[in-house]
Structures are given as C-alpha cells and as structure tokens.
Amino acid sequence: MNNRSIKNNSQQQAYFTAKSGLNAVVESLNGDPAKYPFSAYLYNNLINGTHSIVIENIFENIGITDNADEIAGIGKCRIEGSYIKGEVTLKATAEAGGQTEKMTLTARRNQDGGTWPAKVWGNFLKESSVVGNIELGSIKDRKYSEDIENKEKYLIDFVVYRVNVSSGSTNKGKISIVDDATTGNYPTQAIFIYVDDNETLEIDGIENWDEDYGPDVFIYLEGNSKLKLKAQESIYPFYISVDTGAGIDIVDGSEAEVFHVNGTLTAVDKRLKFEETEKKVPKRIPTSNYNYSSNIDPINGARVNKWDVVKYESDQN
C-alpha cells in the first residue's frame, strides 16, 4: 500500500510536471521576443524557421529557471513542438519519481475583437524592380511601435500599404510575397492594403503565398473605390472589407475566388466567389492575430501576439 501510494504520488507529480512545462512554453509565446531570450527562441524556431523545436528539459531552460533543483521534486520535462496553419502543437514527456506522463497541448493566436491597424501606418504601394510586380511584406516596409511604459521600440510584425495614385502609389500589378525569414527577423504575419476613396486597385495575380504559413492578406475598400481581380485558377488569399459604394470586378476571365468579403458591395461582379462555410465563415481562418472581419483603428491598431490554449490531451498509454 505504501509503495502504491508513492507510485500514485509520483504519477500525479509527473502529470503536473508535464502540464507546467507546456504552460511555460505558452507563457513565453505570449512574451515579448525583444525582451525575453526564450520568447525570441520560440518565434525564431517554432513560429518561423524550421517550425519545430525539441527541448530536452524545459526546466533547465534559461528564462524558465536557471537551475532545475530550484523546483524541488519537479522532475524533467521534454518538449517537442510544431507549428502549421496557425496552430501550435506541444508534446510533453515528463518524468518524476520513476513515473512518466505524456501530454499534448494545442494553442492558437487570439483573434477576438481584433482591430485592423490604421492606414496612417501605411506605405504607398510601389512597383518593384520587376516590371509589373508589386512586392508585399518586406521587412524594410515595416515600422516600429513604441512601448511607452518601458520606453522601448519594437519592430511590428505586420505591414500596411495604401493605394492613392495622386500620392505616387501604383495601382496595378502582380503581387509577389516577400520571404524575409532568412534575415533573422520573423516573417510578416499580416499584410493590409487600404484602397483610398475613389481609387482603383487592379491585381493581376499573386505568387509566393503559402497555404500553411501565409501571411494573411487583408484589403479594405473605402467608399467609391474599386478592386479589379484578374481571373485565375487558384484562390486569392484575401480577406476583404468594404465601405458603402465600393465595388469588385473580375477582368480577363471567367471568375475569381477570395476567402471572405465583409460589408455590402454596391457593385459586385457575379463571377466573384467567396470560399465560405454555410455560416459565412472563411474555410481558412487567418493565422495572424487579426480577424477576417473587423473594425479599423483610426490611429493605432497594433496588437501584441496573444496565444490561447485550445485543449490539453493526456496520453495514458
């Protein structure tokens, strides 16, 4: 009976060790990569980079504790992690008192109440060095936000563009998504394009967009503006919101499909298709922390990454 009690206690400790290890990783995902080394490691390797991690003992990891002995009896916890399509999967294998416990956690970025950033962040849309191409998502197009409390600046993980021809922007071309993963900075999570009132944006196609990792592309059409899409076989990965008076046309082909359109289009080409469920929700939910349908912040709108636990699963085998 005494041995059984010791075994049960050890098994329970292994369970709590596994859960504590998983929670420690999620808490670090919600930390600022610019301030905390372990948060930076997770973003550079799990969210970006190889999209996977292996940590032999999370409690010996700097940023959790410098010495596992500081947490008496907690044992060891090995973490394996992967990231795809906006979801983090973490698998823990914990050992305590000769007993082993395995547990899996899944987490997603929080999107509740996400407000799209203001267009005042925006760069005017420019043609790239390749004639007819518009490069989106480059690190050089990002800006810095200021943490007033800590008097620090940090590089935001989204990019904002504007279409206004009189201000020097281009308004036609093929979109080419830039991959800046090799620079050591994590890639752009979201791209926003604001088409000013009475302006027109004509898109001739899109390349280098990744189904698993994005980035999310959001387009906002102000009143009386127009979006023209060249018909293509693949779906345009766009989440579109519109003001009253805006319209969308299909050119040079039979039809074009996007992920979502939010708002009432004054003029809509019947050849425009939406990839939605019966509940009018996109079949592909954004992987960034911005919602597919949202309000526009007139001044700011930058959101800090926040990850929510979706579920825990304990492996009893």
- Quickly count: other Cβ atoms within 10 Å of residue 102's Cβ: 17
Mean pLDDT on 112-119: 80
Write the pLDDT tens digit of every residue in 282-301.
Answer: 999 999 889 898 778 877 77
22 contacts 105 by C-beta, under 8 angstroms: yes
Query: Under 8 Å CB-to-CB from 306, ≥6 apart: which residues?
Result: 30, 109, 110, 289
The pLDDT score that the predictor gives to residue 49 is 85
Whether this model's pTM surpasses 0.85: yes
List C-alpha distances in Å: 271 to 13, 56, 134, 254. 60, 53, 24, 7
Question: Does residue 235 have a pLDDT over 70?
Answer: yes
Mean pLDDT on 86-101: 92
User: CATH 3.30.1300: which residues of the chain?
Assistant: 2-111+306-315
Which architecture does CATH list for 2-111+306-315? 2-Layer Sandwich (3.30)
Question: Does residue 66 have a pLDDT over 50?
Answer: no
The pLDDT score that the predictor gives to residue 186 is 61
One-letter amino acid at 197 equals D
Mean pLDDT on 70-95: 87
Write the pLDDT tens digit of every residue in 105-114.
Answer: 999 988 776 6
